[in-house]
Amino acid sequence: MADWTAPFHAPKFSDAQFEKVHDAYVKKNGYTITVPALDDIIHINVPAPMTPVEELLWKLRRFNEIPTARLVELRAVKERKRAKYLAMLKSPSPEWVRSAGAILTALDDVQDALSTLACIGAITAALIGGTAAALLAGPVGWLAGTAALLALINPYSRGKGPRGKPKTGRSAKRELEKFTDANPFDKKARVRVAKRLKKINLGIPNLIEALQVTDQIFGVGISIGPIMGFAQDMASGFIRQLGGAQVKMEMTPPMYPGHVRKALKCLKTQSVLHGVTWESDLSDDAASMIAANLSLQVAEPYVTQWNPIDQVDGLSSMLLTCPQPTDILSIEIIKESGRELKDVCNWPQNLSPEISFADLQAATAPKAAANLLHFAQENKNDPLACIAGQNAHNFALGAMEAIEGPGQVEVVYPVTERIILIILGQGWCYPDDITDAQVAKFEEWIYVHEHMGTMPTYKDIWRYPQTFCGFTWAKSPDEY
């Protein structure tokens, strides 16, 4: 096993410091987030948020005082939101209908987090090089199972793809490591000792102390997101103790800067988005995973400083109010549909305006894990989806680290992947006269090690083909 540490923690900023950094970012990039992907750049377009002046003019219906181009943009944003909202109301599932306003609010919070936090967060995007292209174009795409990894070195399955023939050798090793390091389906992880999560009696520790594929831990991370924003929700009146008892805290929570409050809000509303079964909206689903990772990076140092699990008694039984819309366009859309907020702003997990942390966690974790798997299967060859999955992976393990502390998260890489990395790292490849039968014999040996959980040394990987398969590794042409 290897220790896992979050690759990036956002620095702390005061409101004034953050505004300076954010304004400089927007001046340079606008509200378009760019992510490198293979031989192209992916652009994630986020609508520019309304300014306080624009919001006031909109409320007063003084549309003529808003510049024409901007007014057209805002009306287009509203119509896109309306289309999504009305589609939810037409769903045969009561989860979508009675939570349509809450889901619309959650999507607002995702957009707000992206437009606000991209200037200080780091979007995970390890999708470069021919090796990544070969995996992404393959039959299982970025799910990258054992067979897909073995195909990278197999001359009978390494055909020339749309971006050229994948390399072998050390350059391919570096590309493969970057691509698989944040893949939520190719490794297992666990928390050594879930000391804090055991305090709140949610049934999580038995799950995360055992080795799990990262997509399962993603579900747990999403389900505990609302806990991280406890102090903010308490101050806003969105939390109450069952039976009306006074909430007891060890220490008064700190005041959070504005951008941190947005991050915590996004982490909370992720549970709304994963309270329903996803129906494969690539853009919205990918944005939510990227926003979750950015929000966690920003919130982590504050959660470490004031961890609700350490500070609050009886956390699991407290009731949490469903997120309510604050965006003026979303509020208008709901009212114009003839619905009251109370009719469409319910937790999809129980179709109620309130839910306990325990019930929210239990209902959300498995659905979030299933949503991630469904998203990957539906978009297995899409670069943006792959990047979203990598952000989901780092969010999942980062959430465990944020709650339990540094040094508590361990990962185990698949045996097949480690063997492939050794072969590439040594600059080896199959010889030109290799046969199908020889390749099959060697791969069978790898499958046995994968099944047994044993890891051969690089000397074993060199000697086994000579002794039992009838070939000797050649030097990769990419090494010359």
pLDDT, tens only, 311-360:
888 888 889 999 999 999 999 999 999 999 999 999 999 999 999 998 99
The answer to whether residue 211 is domain-embedded is yes
What pLDDT does residue 167 have?
62
The answer to whether residue 235 is domain-embedded is yes
The answer to whether residue 190 is domain-embedded is no
| 155 and 109 together in one domain | no
The answer to whether residue 72 is domain-embedded is yes
| 148 and 283 together in one domain | no
What pLDDT does residue 242 have?
67
| 67 and 211 together in one domain | yes
Helix, strand, or coil here: 310?
A: helix
**Tens digits of residue pLDDT in 64-108:** 999 999 999 999 999 999 999 999 999 999 999 999 999 999 999
| 284 and 319 together in one domain | yes
| 223 and 272 together in one domain | yes
What pLDDT does residue 291 have?
95
What pLDDT does residue 159 have?
44
| 413 and 281 together in one domain | yes
| 163 and 220 together in one domain | no
| 247 and 203 together in one domain | yes
| 332 and 199 together in one domain | yes
Placement of tokens 């806003």 in the chain: 236
211: exposed, middle or buried (Cβ count in 10 Å: 0-12, 13-18, 19+): middle
Last residue of a domain, one of 417, 436, 454: 417
| 379 and 294 together in one domain | yes
Global pTM value: 0.89
Q: Tell me the C-alpha distance between 226 and 233, whole Å.
A: 9
Work out how many domains the chain is built from and give that number.
2
Write b or e for each residue in 351-385: b if 16 or more Cβ atoms lie within 10 A of its Cβ, otherwise e. eebbbbbbbbbbbbbebbbbbbbebbeebbebbbb
Q: Tell me the C-alpha distance between 411 and 293, whole Å.
A: 18
Q: Tell me the C-alpha distance between 462 and 90, whole Å.
A: 61
Cα of 239 vs its chain's centroid, Å: 26
| 65 and 177 together in one domain | no
* 83 Rama class: left (phi>0) / alpha (psi -120 to 50) / beta: alpha
Last residue of a domain, one of 417, 435, 452: 417
**Tens digits of residue pLDDT in 17-36:** 999 998 998 888 888 777 76
Low-confidence residues in the chain, pLDDT < 70: 1, 36-41, 125-135, 137-140, 144-146, 155-168, 201-203, 205, 207, 242-246, 479-480
What pLDDT does residue 162 have?
39
Last residue of a domain, one of 417, 443, 463: 417
What pLDDT does residue 171 have?
72
The answer to whether residue 457 is domain-embedded is yes
| Residue ranges making up the domain that contains 94 | 1-119+195-417
Q: Tell me the C-alpha distance between 146 and 137, whole Å.
A: 15
Give the residue from 322, 271, 319 showing the smallest Cα distance to 295: 271
| 350 and 462 together in one domain | no
Sheet holding 212-213, edge to edge: 2-3, 409-412, 188-191, 212-213
The answer to whether residue 402 is domain-embedded is yes
* All residues at 6 or more sequence positions from 136 whose CB lies less than 8 Å from its CB, including other chains: 38, 127, 142, 381, 383, 386
Cα of 286 vs its chain's centroid, Å: 8
